């Protein structure tokens, strides 16, 4: 039966949600995708999307296990379960241990679990998802694909924090995230812009609810904005990005806040939400800013300022800048954010083509800069799920056990 198993199931498991996509062969579009949300709560539900059709199934308080078992039953009914040949799992933190996608077994899973101290919000949920999926779909290979792996090529000068050795020895360094997206977009950019795969320099801005920018030299990450955790760097939906640690000491002393309070403040109450007092959603803020909402205007201005500053800074980690590439929900859809950012990049010699910029949304990819002189600017739709499926696909057929 192994030869019939051509599909890859991709799972991205959070603490109370689980996203999945099913890819047939090498097709870029998932044939079925969806999410389970509010897991462990009374209103937990599973939503399945196939083409334009959407089905919602109540899970009645069920958790990850219930959601995955229900999904498997649905796949069985659709005749798709036996077509699955591998499962790819998004794992947020691989520390400096995992430099590439890795076949999961009990030992690897234990190592990922042991890295939870670096990503306490993400890795435990990822591990839970893997455990449940390996139980439910135990007869196919499961593959861990790490957000951090792509950044393991970053040189020491760029990934080292200026702190005493004992902390550096304990793994406190910049790791970087969104690696699957940055790696995918970097490859697409080479094709779109006709660059030499062995001689090019890019800055990629992945802008979504979480945002990061990365300098890519000849296909390898050489610098990135996120750090030990996905909190450092750009202004995000609810995350502050860079802030003077001294400001945190000040707030802690002034308001007698605990470490957990500060974690919540910077990860969940800051960013666009904290700045605007209105929303973490860029689309909402763009509309509000257009109507004169002061908080929304400030939020957009601070976000764009930080982004342009990072793009300029990351360019110095490259011998040459060929292009700045925008991706992620905001990068792919907001001509406003792109225009405002590029307007600040005059020093790099980038000029916007306003018409091209205005027409780039909803998954379209293309160049949005005006002249052939100087670096280009482009929009490329990311497809992290497909990139994860690509990493898992080579494992199809390895040690497949009989379906239980
Ligand atoms: P992601 O996390 O990649 O799904 O991106 C989510 C972000 O993309 C949210 O802040 C959305 O408001 C933003 N976004 C999606 N579509 C648009 C749009 N048409 N204009 C501006 N922002 C958008």
What are the pLDDT digits (tens) for 30-80? 999 999 999 989 999 999 999 889 999 999 999 888 999 999 999 999 999
State whether the beta carbon of 330 lies less than 6 angstroms from ligand 1: yes
Residue 55 near residue 44 (C-beta atoms within 8 A) = no
pLDDT of amino acid 400: 60
Higher-confidence residue of 253 and 14: namely 253
For the stretch 186-195, contacts whose Cβ atoms lie closer than 8 Å and that sit 24 or more positions apart, written own/partner, are: 186/216, 186/219, 186/325, 187/219, 188/365, 188/380, 189/323, 189/325, 189/378, 189/380, 190/219, 192/365, 192/366, 192/367, 192/378, 192/380, 193/322, 193/323, 193/367, 193/376, 193/378, 195/322, 195/323
State whether the beta carbon of 329 lies less than 6 angstroms from ligand 1: yes
Confidence band for 156, pLDDT divided at 50, 70 and 90: very high
What pLDDT, in 10s, does the model give residues 115-135?
998 888 789 999 999 999 999
Residue 75 near residue 22 (C-beta atoms within 8 A) = yes
Cα 19 to the center of its chain, rounded Å: 13
**Position in ligand 1 atom list of the atom nearest CA 280:** 10
What pLDDT, in 10s, does the model give residues 211-237?
999 999 999 999 999 999 999 999 999
| pTM score | 0.94
**Position in ligand 1 atom list of the atom nearest CA 206:** 3
Q: Ligand 1 mean position to 281 CA, how many Å?
A: 7
From 52, 82, 105, 147, the catalytic residue:
147
State whether the beta carbon of 339 lies less than 6 angstroms from ligand 1: no
pLDDT of amino acid 2: 43
Has residue 338 got a pLDDT over 90? Answer: yes
pLDDT of amino acid 14: 85
329 is in an annotated binding site: yes
Bridging pattern class, strands 84-91 and 102-103? unpaired
Residue with tokens 């969104």: 178
Percent of the chain at pLDDT exceeding 90: 89
Confidence band for 404, pLDDT divided at 50, 70 and 90: very low
Sign of the Cα torsion 242, 243, 249, 254 reads: negative
Cα distance from N-terminal residue to C-terminal residue, the chain = 14
| Tokens of residue 223, six digits | 């610098």
Confidence band for 197, pLDDT divided at 50, 70 and 90: very high
Delineate the domains of the chain, giving CATH numbers in brackets: 7-146 (3.30.420.40), 196-385 (3.30.420.40)
């Amino acid at each position: 039966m192994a030869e019939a198993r051509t599909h890859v199931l991709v799972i991205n498991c959070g603490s109370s949600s689980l996203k999945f996509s099913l890819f047939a062969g090498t097709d870029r579009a998932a044939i079925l995708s969806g999410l389970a949300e509010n897991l462990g709560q009374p209103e937990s539900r599973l939503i399945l999307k196939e083409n334009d059709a959407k089905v919602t199934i109540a899970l009645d308080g069920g958790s990850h296990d219930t959601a995955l078992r229900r999904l498997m039953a649905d796949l069985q009914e659709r005749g798709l379960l036996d077509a699955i040949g591998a499962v790819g799992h998004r794992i947020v933190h691989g520390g400096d241990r995992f430099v590439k996608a890795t076949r999961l077994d009990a030992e690897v899973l234990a190592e990922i679990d042991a890295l939870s101290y670096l990503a306490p919000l993400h890795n435990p949920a990822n591990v839970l998802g893997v455990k449940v999926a390996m139980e439910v779909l135990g007869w196919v290979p499961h593959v861990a694909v790490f957000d951090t792996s792509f950044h393991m090529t970053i040189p020491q000068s760029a990934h080292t924090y200026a702190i005493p050795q004992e902390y550096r020895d304990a793994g406190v360094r910049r790791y970087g995230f969104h690696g699957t997206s940055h790696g995918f977009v970097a490859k697409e950019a080479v094709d779109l812009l006709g660059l030499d795969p062995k001689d090019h320099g890019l800055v990629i801005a992945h802008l979504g609810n979480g945002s990061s920018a990365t300098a890519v030299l000849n296909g390898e990450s050489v610098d990135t904005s996120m750090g030990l955790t996905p909190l450092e760097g750009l202004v995000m939906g609810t995350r502050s990005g860079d802030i003077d640690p001294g400001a945190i000491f000040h707030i802690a002393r002034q308001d007698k806040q605990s470490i957990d309070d500060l974690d919540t403040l910077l990860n969940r109450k800051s960013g666009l939400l904290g700045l605007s007092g209105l929303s973490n959603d860029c689309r909402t803020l763009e509309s509000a800013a257009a109507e004169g909402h002061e908080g929304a205007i400030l939020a957009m201005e601070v976000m764009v300022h930080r982004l342009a500053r990072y793009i300029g800074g990351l360019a110095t980690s490259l011998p040459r800048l060929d292009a700045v590439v925008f991706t992620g929900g905001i990068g792919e859809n907001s001509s406003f954010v792109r225009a405002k950012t590029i307007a600040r990049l005059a020093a790099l010699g980038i000029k916007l083509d306003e018409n091209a910029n205005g027409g780039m949304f909803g998954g379209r990819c293309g160049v949005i800069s005006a002249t052939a002189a100087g670096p280009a600017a482009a929009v490329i739709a990311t497809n992290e799920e497909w990139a994860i499926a690509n990493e898992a696909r080579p494992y199809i057929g390895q040690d497949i056990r009989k379906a239980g």
